[in-house]
Amino acid sequence: MRVIGVDPGSRVCGYAVVESSGNDLRYIKSGTIIPPVDNSLPKRLDFIYSGILKVIEEFSPTCMSIEDIFFAKNAKSAIKLGQARGVAILAAASKELSVNEYAPTKIKLALTGKGRANKAEVQKMLTLLLGVDEFQNTDESDAVAIAICHINFSRFESMIGIAPKTNKRRNKRFTLNDISS
C-alpha cells in the first residue's frame, strides 16, 4: 500500500508519500506546497490543487489520508482550512483515490500510543520508524504522521476484520446511574 498523507493549509500544505509492505514502512517523499503569499485565496487553492495532483501523478499512491476538520478558535481560519482540505480531497477524487480522514488525536495515538502527544514526541517516533532525521517543518512531518496513521489503522483492520474503536471523551457530569444504591 502506498499512501499520500496531507496536512492541509491555505498558506502551507504538507504532503508525504509512505509505502508499507507487510510490517515494513518505507519513506518515499515528503515536502510542502507553499503558494505565493501575495496570491488571492482562490489562486492559492488552485496552486495547492495542482501541487497535490503533481505528487499523485509522480508517486501513484493507492489512497489519500488527510487530517480531519478540528474546531479552531478563529472561524475564518477554520473555513480557509476547510477549503484547502476540499481541494486536496478533490485532487484525490479526480484520480479516483479513496480518501481517509483522521482526527489529530487519532493520528498521534496511531504513532505514539498517546492521543495528546506533543510535536517532539511525534517527530521522535517518525525518526525511529523511518530513519528520517529532519523535516523542513511541522507541516511536512505531520503529513508523514497522517500517512502512517492510515497504514497502522489499515493493518489493524485487515488483521482483526474491524476498525479499532477509540474512546471518546466522556462528559464528567454525574448522573443517577453513577450513584450506587
Active-site pick, 58, 96, 139, 140: 139
Distance CA(103)–CA(18), nearest Å, equals 19
**Residue 7 is a catalytic residue:** yes
Active-site pick, 46, 67, 133, 140: 67
Q: Are strands 13-21 and 2-7 parallel, antiparallel or unpaired?
A: antiparallel
List of residues 6+ apart from 33 with CB closer than 8 A: 12, 13, 14, 15, 47, 48, 51, 52
Distance CA(163)–CA(144), nearest Å, equals 21
**Residue 139 is a catalytic residue:** yes
Q: What is the DSSP letter of 178?
A: G
Distance CA(110)–CA(167), nearest Å, equals 13
Q: What is the DSSP letter of 162?
A: S
**Residue 67 is a catalytic residue:** yes
Q: DSSP letter string over 63-117?
A: EEEEEPP---S-HHHHHHHHHHHHHHHHHHHHTT-EEEEE-HHHHHHHHHS-TT-
Catalytic residue numbers read 7, 67, 139
